[in-house]
Amino acid sequence: GYMARAAFVMDRLLCRFGLPGHAFVPLLSSHACALPGILGTKLIPDPRDRLTTILVAPFMSCSARLPVYVLLTSLLFAGRPMMAAVVFTGCYLLGASAAMASAWLARRTILPGRSSPMVLELPSYKRPSLQTALFNAYHQGRDFLSKAGTLIIGISVVMWWLSAYPQAAPPQEAEVLRTEAAALVQTAPEEAARLQAEADYLSAKHSQSRSFAGRLGRTVQPAFAPLGFDWQLTMGVLTSFLAREIFVSTMAVLTVGDEAADVEDRGVIERIRRARRDDGSLLFTPSVAASLLVFFVLAMQCLPTLALTGRQTGSFKWAWLQFGYMSTVAYVFALATYHGLHLLGVS
């Protein structure tokens, strides 16, 4: 009986943004995943209230965003866990604020009208069943591993293939470095190892830039250049449309070969932190990481949610409106974040 009472208590607050108290449980569920949140809107009696809730539910930070939040906050605040925790919490607040502001805007433009009065029968309190909770947790966990896990592995394999082929001959500069390293193996082994590592790095970047992934990323990259994204980040954004958490595995694949010998075994986050662009500059500067974080908080990077919106509303025009609006909001706020930090002297 707690959820029904929580919805009743939240009715007065949500009505200020054009939503009924019935929307509280679907929006709360969307923090786990937008799919059950959207499905839960069936309990909202008024069609306009229901449609508004469906359109803003994906703004709530779902569990698929968590790996991206962890990665980017770790890059932004390495060695400062308290600041990382504050920004991590801020991502949830930003998403919820965007949802409320968008609901308020929708009820005054495309879906005008007041939210319907809330009439709700409060059920009696019942003790939760541990057996039911464990049963649901087991089956939902199994479904995630069989569906989302399979998708992540599959996309990672595809991204590896796209970034590895077609194979290109190593650049002349790398061959010269390898020749110099071979000549110094006996007399200066440390210098030889350094030259060999530099040659491997040049070969890896040269091969990736001429791979299928490199070509696709460079084709689309100009659209994301104002946000500070290079072709590698652009590929990460594109692949994450299938599932947001794929961004991390995509970056792990694309940055293979970027690490120096002394950081090779320090983990994925350290390798991504040391990743570099084609011009040799760091890939994840503070302004770029912050811009990317804001983008992922606000963007509609979820194909299943887009499809479900179309089915639940009975028209895919609402799904495309949702996608276009959220993408525009994410782009504008990410752009403002990137250039705002530059104006403040944070590169």
| Nearest by Cα to 247 from 272, 228, 225 | 272
Nearest to 213 by CA among 167, 249, 171, 161: 161
| Average pLDDT score over residue span 290-306 | 92
85 confidence band (pLDDT: 50, 70, 90): very high
To the nearest 10°, report the CA torsion of 198, 199, 203, 204. Answer: -30
With a cut of 70, say whether residue 345 has pLDDT above it.
yes
| 57, 37 contact by CB (below 8 A) | yes
Tokens 């084709």 belong to 219
| Per-residue pLDDT, 94 | 96
Note the Cα 291 to chain centre separation in Å: 12
**pLDDT above 70 coverage of the chain, percent:** 91
- What is the mean pLDDT of the segment spanning 166-190? 82
User: What local confidence, expressed as pLDDT, does residue 325 receive?
Assistant: 96
If you average pLDDT over each of 76-80, 96-100, 120-124, which comes out highest? 96-100
Rounded mean pLDDT of 257-266?
48
Angle between helix axes 316-343 and 81-106 (nearest 10 degrees) is 130
Residue type, position 1, single letter? G
Which tokens sit at 148?
Answer: 């989302």
**What is the average pLDDT across 172-182?**
84
Using CA atoms, how far apart are residues 298 and 326, in angstroms rounded to an integer?
6
**Partner residues linked to 276 by β-bridges:** 282
- Provide the token pair at 149: 């896990």
Closest listed residue to residue 115, CA positions, set 103, 131, 126? 103
Task: Look at residue 263 and tell me whether its pLDDT is greater than 50.
Answer: no
Ranking 82-91, 217-226, 237-246 by mean pLDDT, the lowest is 237-246
CA-to-CA separations, 51 to 42, 47, 102, 159, 330, in angstroms, rounded: 10, 6, 12, 36, 21
Q: At which residue do the structure tokens 């980040």 appear?
A: 233
* Burial bucket for residue 168 (CB in 10 Å: 0-12, 13-18, 19+): middle
Determine the pLDDT at residue 146.
72
Q: Which residue has the higher pLDDT, 112 or 160?
A: 112
Identify the pLDDT of residue 256.
63
Q: Convert the pLDDT of each residue in 147-156 to its tens digit.
A: 656 766 776 6
What pLDDT digit, counting tens, does each position of 194-212 carry? 888 778 777 777 776 777 8
Average pLDDT in the chain: 84
Q: Over range 292-314, report the average pLDDT.
A: 90
User: Using 50, 70 and 90 to split pLDDT, how confident is the model at 189?
Assistant: confident
Beta-carbon contacts of 47 under 8 Å, excluding residues fewer than 6 positions away, are none
Count helices and strands (H / E) in the chain.
Answer: 16, 0
pLDDT grade for 227, boundaries at 50, 70 and 90: very high
Interatomic CA distance for residues 25 and 6, integer angstroms: 8
Q: How sure is the predictor about 265, in pLDDT bands with cuts at 50, 70 and 90?
A: very low
124: left (phi over 0), alpha (psi -120 to 50) or beta: beta
Gap between the Cα atoms of 60 and 36, Å rounded: 12
Q: What is the pTM (predicted TM-score) of this model?
A: 0.80
> What share of the chain in percent tops pLDDT 90?
33
